[in-house]
Amino acid sequence: NQFHGGNIIAQSTYRTQSGLRRIFKCTPCHHLFSQTRNTVFYDLRLPEETVMLVLKLCLVAVSLSGISFAVGVREETILRWLQRAAEQAERVNAQLLQEVQVSQVQLDELWNFVARKQAETAQANGEACQDSPDGRHWVWLSYAPEYCLLLATVVGPRTLNNAQRLIQQTAAVVQGVPCFFSDGFSCYFTALLGCYQRVIRFPRTGQRGRPRKDRIEPHPQLVYAQLVKEKRNGRLQSLRIQVRCGAERLKQLGLTVSTSLVERLNLTLRTALAPLVRKSPSFCKQPQRLQHRVVFFHAFYNLVRPHMSLRRSLQDDAIEAPRFHTHYEQRTPALAAGLTDHIWSFRELLTAKLPTHHSQSTSR
């Protein structure tokens, strides 16, 4: 058999616990490679069904010790599989999340800790110390509510550096300049100005004295509004909307300043990933382990997991009105955004052959 215009031919087969595997040969370079090369299942001894079962359990808030006990696989092996799945999800995200047309982006951070739960006093603006020895980590999220699409994720301390990383990753996948909404965290505005800005240069006049310095202004289309929450004794007292830039464009678009949907996504994350469950012993011991899980869930949420609010009703004219039953077409966020034409299967997510990309941070 020949593939890709005759450049790749089927060479042989070999038997594994998951069935027959095929060996292919590249005719220009005479290189042999396996059917599962550059996938999660490459060179694994256990059956594919066992690997997929373990990775599915990692996405439904089952702890490592629980998976190890139920399936009979060592925790170290599960962590290696998670790393492979995260690297695969990283390639999928980098290939599919490009030029997404969205009108607004909601930003938020999800509190968590790594290795130990110890808090230090934050700075006046709410920013944590860059080299803080405590275990506080946040899961940073950027979310497109019109498609329920998760755009970018960052795991790290609550610092300006990580806010800039989140905004840069978001700007790399969206088209144009959308509206940004967040809570009262001050670092977002600085990060947005660093990414969406316009430099005004003043010409030299030839007169005495120093020339005027260049002035940096927000992008003319940038809209950023904060939903500031005032609390007392842990209870919400009031909500205040503060538009930092782009008030006129926000009024023209008629958008409502809200972060409710990205905050609802926080609940989805806490019920899906065991390290994010509150008051449980399933917390991660290393930051990169938490990063692997978040990146893997990112691709799973967008491509594999149908979202109920995105489903479309299918009208069946052949059924009479009294006996009419509404049928629905399930859709994922990526399908609703036009990034793919079908709902991906779990195996398709783990075996998709895509170019290597290094924009995410699973290796950090």
> Is the pLDDT confidence value at 221 over 90?
yes
Separation CA 228–CA 291 (nearest Å): 28
* 85 contacts 120 by C-beta, under 8 angstroms: no
For the stretch 247-295, pLDDT in tens is 999 999 999 999 999 999 999 999 999 999 988 888 888 889 999 999 9
Average pLDDT over residues 215-231: 90
Average pLDDT over residues 113-139: 65
Provide the residue ranges of all domains of the chain, joining segments of one domain with +: 1-35, 36-201+214-351
> Is the pLDDT confidence value at 120 over 80?
no
* CA-CA-CA-CA torsion sign (36, 38, 44, 47): negative
* Local structure of residue 234 (DSSP, 8 states): T
Provide the pLDDT confidence category of residue 146 given band limits of 50, 70 and 90.
very high
If one counts every other C-beta atom within 10 angstroms of the C-beta of residue 17, the result is 11
For the stretch 69-86, pLDDT in tens is 999 999 999 999 999 999
Give the closest residue to 56 by CA, choosing from 36, 70, 42.
Answer: 70
pLDDT of residue 358: 44
The secondary structure of 261-294 as a DSSP string is: HHHHHHHHHHHH-GGGSTT-S---SSHHHHHHHH
For the stretch 234-249, pLDDT in tens is 888 888 999 999 999 9
For the stretch 41-56, pLDDT in tens is 877 878 889 999 999 9
Q: Coil, strand, or helix at residue 147?
A: coil
State phi, psi for 91 to the nearest 5 degrees: -65, -40
Average pLDDT over residues 215-229: 91
pLDDT of residue 137: 86
Separation CA 327–CA 306 (nearest Å): 15
> Is the pLDDT confidence value at 316 over 80?
no
pTM assigned to the model: 0.83
